[in-house]
C-alpha cells in the first residue's frame, strides 16, 4: 500500500500541520462499510470511494448497497438542511439530532481528511487509472440551493466531530466540501466551486459590502468596540482582542448599528488550493526592490516660533504636567505641544500629520507655515494607503515561499504574560506565521539586571541607580521607576540578536511585541513591500511608526531621520515611536547595536532608554525605513492590552 508521503505529494494542504493519510481514506471506507479492494496507488484508492458516476451493476454488490445508503441518508438531510441551517451563518450551525446516521457522520468526518482537489474538476474513468481533467461549469450555491444545505450539513457534522475551522477560513472550507460532494455526485452538488486561481469568488457575490476605513463613523464604532471588548469581555461572548476588524464590523452590522454596512469578507489565502512550495525554496531570495532608487538627502525641517508663542505653548503643557525639562531647557515648546496634542493624545486614531495639525489648532497650537515633519508627505502619509488588497493565489503562493525561506519570526514577551502569549499565538496562526517566543526581561526580578549584564545585554559598568536619579531630576521618572523602560530595551536587544542564532540561516528577522496582531494578509503585504519598494541599502524596517519623522520615499515608506528640533541629550525624543513590528537584516544587527549601546546606556541621558526613540535618534548612522502609522489597517493592529513597560514603571508617564 502506498505511503502517506506519496499521497500528500499529490494533494495540497489547508495548513502546514494537516496531512491526508492512508488512514484517513481507510477510515472513510470502513465507516461507510465499503470494501477497499486491492488498490495500490492513490488514484486506485480514490476509485474505490463511492461515486454514482463510477458504479455499475457489474461491480461489487456491497459497494453498490453502501453507496445507495450514503446517498439516501444525505438526500434525506438535504430537505431538512436548508430550513434548519439557512440564516445560521457558517460559524455556528445548529445540529439536528440524527442518531441513526452515526456512521454517515463519521464518514463525513473522514471525507474532510481525504484532501482538496484543484480548481479544475478531476474525474476517474471506470476502465483505467489515468487521471483526466474535464472542464465542468462552476457555481457558487446560494442559500436556496440544495447543495448549499448539504455543504452546511457536512460542515456541522465535522464541527460536532471536533473538526473546527476559524471564521476567517469557513467560506474557503465550504468550497472544499462542495468540491468533495461534486466529485462524488452527492448532496445535489452538480457543479464544482468556482476557481480560486485569481480572486476569491465570493467577493463578487456580495457587491454591496463595505469594509469601513478611516475616517468614517463605522471605523470609529469598530475601534470603540475593540476597547469595550478589552474592558468588558463578559459582554462580548466569542470575541477577544485577537478578533479581526471584519468580525467586529459584522457584529455591529448584525445588531443594526446604522453607521456600519455589511463588511466585505476578510482577505483569505486562496493559495491553500495550490501545491505547497518545494522545501528547497526559491532559487534566489530577493531582499529588496532592486529597481528602487536610493533616497535623496533632505535637510531636516526646523521649527521657528517667537518667544511669546513658545511661552504660551510651555504654559499649556506645564498646566497639565507634561512640560518636562523646564522653560529654559532649550526645547522648542510649540513643537513639543504639537506632538503631544496631535500624536500622543490621538495615539490610537492613527492620524496623518495634517489631521494632527488640525487637532492641535483646536488646542491653540499652530504649526509654523514652513515646517512639516515629513518631507513629500503627500506621497505616503494617507490612511487609504494601508487599505484592502485582493491578492491572487499566485501572489500568495510566491509570498509564502519567500517568507518562509528568508524571514525568521520572533515574538517578544515576558514568560509570565501567559494571557498575552495565548492571544499572540492566535493572531500568528490566523496570519499563517510560524514563530517562537523570545523571553522579555522583567527588571523587578532580583537577579534580572545581573543576568542581563552576564548575557551582554547591559554593560557591566551600567549604574541603574544613577540613571534613575537623573530621570527624577529631568522629570521623566516622577511617576515611578525606569525599570520597565530598561527591561523593554534589553528585551529588544535580545530579540534582535536571536536572528543571528537561526538554525535555518535566514537572512531577515522579524520581531513582534506580544500585544500586536499582524494583518491576515501580512505575508503578501511584507513580500510586496520588501521586493517592490524597499531600497537595497536598508538595514531596519519598522512596520508601524507613530509620529513619523523623515522623508517619504515611496507610497508606503519613509526614510527615518533624526529630529534636530529636539535635544540630543533627550535622544531627539518625540517622533518615530513604537516597536510593534520591526524587520532586521540579520547581518546588520551587530553594527546597529554597536552604535546603539553607548547611546542607551548613558546614565546621564535616561530618556534614551526608550529603544524606539534611541534608534530614531541615530538614524543618520544606518539605513532606517518605516511605514507611517496613518496607513490603516496596514500591517499591524494593536490589541489594546496596555503597556507592560508603563505597568512596570509604576504609573502612566506622559513624557511622550
pLDDT tops 90 at residue 527: yes
* Dist. CA 638–CA 647, nearest whole Å: 17
CB 543, CB 636: distance < 8 Å: yes
Q: Which residue has the higher pLDDT, 254 or 478?
A: 254
Q: Is the pTM of this model over 0.75?
A: no
Query: Could you read off the pLDDT of 544-592 as tens digits, one per residue?
Result: 999 999 999 999 999 999 999 999 989 999 999 999 999 999 999 999 9
CB 192, CB 123: distance < 8 Å: no
In the chain, the percentage of residues whose pLDDT exceeds 90 is 43
Query: Could you read off the pLDDT of 78-123 as tens digits, one per residue?
Result: 443 333 333 333 333 232 333 323 333 333 333 333 333 333 333 3
pLDDT tops 50 at residue 278: no
Query: Could you read off the pLDDT of 504-522 as tens digits, one per residue?
Result: 999 999 999 999 999 989 9
pLDDT tops 90 at residue 434: yes
Query: Could you read off the pLDDT of 536-557 as tens digits, one per residue?
Result: 999 999 999 999 999 999 999 9
CB 380, CB 557: distance < 8 Å: yes
Burial of 464 (0-12, 13-18, 19+ CB in 10 A): middle
CATH number 3.30.70 is the correct assignment for the domain at 400-649? no
Pairing of strands 516-518, 122-124: unpaired
Q: Which pLDDT belongs to residue 14?
A: 32
**Residue 77: count of CB within 10 angstroms of its CB:** 23
In the chain, the percentage of residues whose pLDDT exceeds 70 is 69
Q: Which residue has the higher pLDDT, 397 or 38?
A: 397
Q: Is 559 helix (H, G, I), strand (E, B) or coil?
A: strand
Q: Kindly list the domain boundaries of the chain, sorted by start residue.
A: 4-202, 217-266, 400-649
Query: Could you read off the pLDDT of 12-22 as tens digits, one per residue?
Result: 333 333 332 23
DSSP letter assigned to residue 623? -
Highest mean pLDDT among 43-52, 83-92, 159-168, 372-381: 372-381
CB 504, CB 431: distance < 8 Å: no
Q: Which pLDDT belongs to residue 271?
A: 63
pLDDT tops 90 at residue 188: no
Q: Which pLDDT belongs to residue 656?
A: 33
Q: Which pLDDT belongs to residue 100?
A: 29
Q: Which residue has the higher pLDDT, 168 or 148?
A: 148
* Dist. CA 495–CA 492, nearest whole Å: 5
* Dist. CA 458–CA 487, nearest whole Å: 10
Mean pLDDT for the chain overall: 75
Q: Which pLDDT belongs to residue 158?
A: 67
* Cα-based torsion angle of the residue sequence 430, 442, 474, 610 in order, rounded to the nearest 10 degrees: -30
Amino acid at each position: 500500500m502506498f505511503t502517506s508521503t506519496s499521497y500528500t505529494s499529490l494533494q495540497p494542504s489547508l495548513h502546514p500541520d494537516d496531512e491526508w493519510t492512508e488512514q484517513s481514506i481507510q477510515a472513510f471506507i470502513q465507516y461507510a462499510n465499503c470494501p477497499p479492494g486491492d488498490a495500490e496507488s492513490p488514484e486506485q484508492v480514490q476509485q474505490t470511494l463511492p461515486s454514482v458516476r463510477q458504479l455499475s451493476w457489474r461491480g461489487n454488490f456491497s459497494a453498490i448497497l453502501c453507496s445507495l445508503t450514503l446517498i439516501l441518508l444525505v438526500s434525506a438531510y438535504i430537505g431538512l438542511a436548508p430550513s434548519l441551517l439557512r440564516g445560521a451563518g457558517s460559524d455556528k450551525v445548529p445540529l439536528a439530532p440524527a442518531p441513526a446516521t452515526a456512521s454517515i457522520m463519521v464518514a463525513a468526518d473522514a471525507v474532510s481528511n481525504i484532501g482538496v482537489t484543484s480548481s479544475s474538476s478531476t474525474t476517474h474513468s471506470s476502465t483505467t487509472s489515468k487521471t483526466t481533467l474535464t472542464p465542468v461549469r462552476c457555481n457558487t450555491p446560494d442559500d436556496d440551493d440544495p447543495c448549499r444545505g448539504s455543504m452546511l450539513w457536512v460542515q456541522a457534522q465535522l464541527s460536532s466531530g471536533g473538526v473546527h475551522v476559524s471564521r476567517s477560513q469557513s467560506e474557503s472550507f465550504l468550497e472544499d466540501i462542495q468540491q468533495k460532494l461534486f466529485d462524488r455526485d452527492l448532496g445535489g452538488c452538480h457543479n464544482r466551486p468556482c476557481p480560486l486561481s485569481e480572486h476569491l469568488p465570493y467577493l463578487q457575490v456580495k457587491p454591496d459590502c463595505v469594509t469601513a476605513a478611516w475616517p468614517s463613523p463605522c471605523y470609529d464604532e469598530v475601534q470603540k468596540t475593540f476597547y469595550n471588548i478589552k474592558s468588558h469581555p463578559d459582554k462580548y461572548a466569542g470575541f477577544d482582542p485577537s478578533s479581526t476588524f471584519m468580525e467586529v464590523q459584522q457584529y455591529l452590522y448584525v445588531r443594526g448599528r446604522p453607521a456600519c454596512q455589511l463588511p466585505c469578507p476578510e482577505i483569505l489565502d486562496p493559495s491553500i488550493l495550490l501545491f505547497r512550495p518545494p522545501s528547497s525554496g526559491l532559487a534566489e531570495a530577493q531582499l529588496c526592490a532592486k529597481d528602487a532608487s536610493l533616497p535623496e538627502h533632505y535637510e531636516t525641517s526646523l521649527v521657528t516660533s517667537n518667544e511669546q508663542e513658545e511661552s504660551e505653548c510651555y504654559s499649556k503643557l506645564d498646566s497639565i504636567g507634561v512640560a518636562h525639562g523646564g522653560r529654559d531647557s532649550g526645547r522648542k515648546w510649540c513643537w513639543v505641544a504639537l506632538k503631544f496634542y496631535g500624536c500622543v493624545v490621538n495615539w490610537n486614531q492613527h492620524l496623518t500629520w495634517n489631521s494632527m495639525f488640525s487637532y492641535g489648532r483646536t488646542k491653540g497650537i499652530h504649526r509654523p507655515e514652513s515646517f512639516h515633519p515629513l518631507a513629500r508627505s503627500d506621497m505616503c502619509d494617507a490612511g487609504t494607503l494601508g487599505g484592502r488588497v485582493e491578492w491572487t493565489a499566485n501572489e500568495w503562493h510566491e509570498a509564502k515561499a519567500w517568507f518562509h525561506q528568508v524571514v525568521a519570526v520572533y515574538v517578544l514577551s515576558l514568560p509570565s504574560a501567559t494571557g498575552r502569549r495565548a492571544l499572540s499565538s492566535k493572531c500568528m496562526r490566523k496570519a499563517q506565521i510560524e514563530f517562537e517566543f523570545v523571553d522579555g526581561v522583567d527588571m523587578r526580578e532580583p537577579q534580572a539586571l545581573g543576568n542581563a549584564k552576564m548575557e551582554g545585554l547591559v554593560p557591566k559598568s551600567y549604574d541603574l541607580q544613577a540613571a534613575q536619579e537623573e530621570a527624577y531630576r529631568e522629570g521623566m521618572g516622577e511617576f515611578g521607576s525606569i525599570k520597565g523602560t530598561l527591561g523593554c530595551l534589553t528585551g529588544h536587544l535580545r530579540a534582535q540578536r536571536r536572528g543571528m542564532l537561526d538554525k535555518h540561516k535566514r537572512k531577515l528577522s522579524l520581531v513582534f511585541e506580544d500585544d500586536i496582531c499582524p494583518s491576515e494578509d501580512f505575508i503578501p503585504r511584507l513580500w510586496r513591500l520588501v521586493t517592490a519598494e524597499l531600497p537595497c541599502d536598508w538595514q531596519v524596517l519598522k512596520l508601524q511608526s507613530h509620529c513619523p519623522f523623515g522623508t517619504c520615499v515611496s507610497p508606503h515608506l519613509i526614510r527615518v531621520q533624526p529630529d534636530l528640533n529636539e535635544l540630543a541629550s533627550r535622544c531627539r525624543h518625540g517622533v518615530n515611536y513604537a516597536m510593534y513590528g520591526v524587520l532586521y537584516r540579520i547581518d546588520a544587527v551587530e553594527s546597529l547595536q554597536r552604535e546603539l549601546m553607548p547611546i542607551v546606556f548613558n546614565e546621564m541621558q535616561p530618556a534614551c532608554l526608550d529603544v524606539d526613540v534611541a534608534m530614531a535618534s541615530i538614524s543618520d548612522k544606518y539605513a532606517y525605513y518605516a511605514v507611517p502609522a496613518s496607513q490603516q489597517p496596514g500591517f499591524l493592529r494593536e490589541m489594546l492590552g496596555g503597556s507592560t513597560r508603563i505597568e512596570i514603571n509604576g504609573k502612566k508617564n506622559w513624557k511622550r
